A and B are shown apart, each in its own frame.
Chain A
Amino acid sequence: MTAKVLTIASGKGGVGKTTAVANIGVALAARGHKVICVDSDIGLRNLDVVMGLENRIVYDLVDVVEGRCRLRQAMIRDKRVPELYLIPAAQTRDKSAVSPSDMIHLCNELRPECDWVLIDSPAGIERGFHNAIAGADKIIVMTNPEMSAVRDADRVIGLVEAEEKGTPVLVINRLNSAMVKRGEMISVEDVLDLLAIKLLGIVPEDENVLVASNKGVPLALDGKSKAGLAFQNIARRLLGEEVPFLDLESQGLWQRLLGRK
């Protein structure tokens, strides 16, 4: 196995990076792939609670980097799907405990172990963000259809390109189609116009996201909710399937997508 390493970044906090990592991870694992999710938000770990694995943490990312445990000891197995693992962040340390070269080393160790490594980046564009993208093959930038999130996404895209990590792909989260129709929310088309990168997925605003994180059961496990379905579609696109985008977007998007490279 040689895993593909994906990092989800956004610049702005609270746009849904952690939810996306948990759900894309579950969706890929449910399709028979071996997935390792890594929480790189040292000091503010959260992927463990969103995945419902918080009570099973013994070792964390910093323990691995500092050699206090073997890699496999820090991998918590999610028993609800065949092969899904979490490497949690340390909670009592800060971002300086890990360097970009540590992360490159870690990713190289993880590659032969699985099919996919999903790294949850911290918010911001400082050390933690540079750590998160250092070992990645591809970056997924997440945004919301909202001014500050789009602006921050643009900054992150610029930084990823400056580090020669290739052009990221975009996931637009929390789209409220009723508001877009009323002209009170920027549309998918507008966001693509502004950021000028390829679209990987559109996730609708969905109350079930909060309910799922309350329970610690990622939405994509059942796939009946709109957001759960959207995350499953993202996973399928990552696996190379041509999946049409959910029918949420404004008029003209189809023409736009068909016309894009």
Chain B
Amino acid sequence: MNIIDRMIGRKKSASSAKERLQLVLIHDRTDLTPAELEALKDDLIETISRHVEIDSAAVRISVAQDGRSQRLVADIPLRSATRRRFR
């Protein structure tokens, strides 16, 4: 991408191709659809909530690429004990 494109924020087709491919390949490699990932997230929230209080609306789950292998990354914020006391 040249400087002018960058300044006016115009995205070239090669970078959209790369971004689209990254997503497509993750799903091809893991055989995990976005819907299945959502279901997995709900199950995770339910299981973890049984042990510790979490901020379920802020849970993020994604598949990251690490070379040719995939990694399931979950970011699960815990509710702090102090905040809980004042509720």
Chain B residues positioned under 8 Å from A185 (CB to CB) = 14
Question: Chain A interface: which size bin?
Answer: 20 to 34
Chain B residues positioned under 8 Å from A193 (CB to CB) = 18
A147 proximal to B (CB < 8 A): yes
B51 proximal to A (CB < 8 A): no
A184 touches which of B14, B20, B22 (Cβ 8 Å) = B14
B80 CB to nearest chain A CB (Å): 39
Contact A154 B14 (CB under 8 A): no
Contact A150 B21 (CB under 8 A): yes
With A158-B29, A183-B1, A197-B68 as contacts: A147 and B17 at CB distance below 8 Å:
yes
Nearest neighbor of A180 in chain B, beta-carbon distance: B14
Q: How far is the CA of A150 from the CA of B24 in the complex (A)?
A: 11
B71 proximal to A (CB < 8 A): no
Contact B21 A196 (CB under 8 A): no
Contact A184 B12 (CB under 8 A): yes
Q: How far is the CA of A223 from the CA of B25 in the complex (A)?
A: 36
Contact A194 B21 (CB under 8 A): yes
Chain A residues positioned under 8 Å from B22 (CB to CB) = 194
Chain B residues positioned under 8 Å from A187 (CB to CB) = 14
Chain A residues positioned under 8 Å from B1 (CB to CB) = 183
B18 touches which of A158, A161, A184, A194 (Cβ 8 Å) = A194
Contact A147 B20 (CB under 8 A): yes
Contact A151 B67 (CB under 8 A): no
With A154-B29, A194-B25 as contacts: A186 and B18 at CB distance below 8 Å:
yes
Chain A residues positioned under 8 Å from B5 (CB to CB) = 183
Chain A residues positioned under 8 Å from B24 (CB to CB) = 147, 151
A157 proximal to B (CB < 8 A): yes
B:10-69 near A, CB below 8 Å = 12-15, 17-18, 20-22, 24-25, 28-29, 65, 67-68
- Selected A-B contacts with CB under 8 Å, 18 pairs: A147-B20, A150-B21, A151-B21, A151-B24, A154-B28, A154-B29, A180-B14, A183-B5, A183-B12, A183-B13, A184-B14, A187-B14, A190-B14, A193-B18, A194-B21, A195-B68, A196-B65, A197-B68
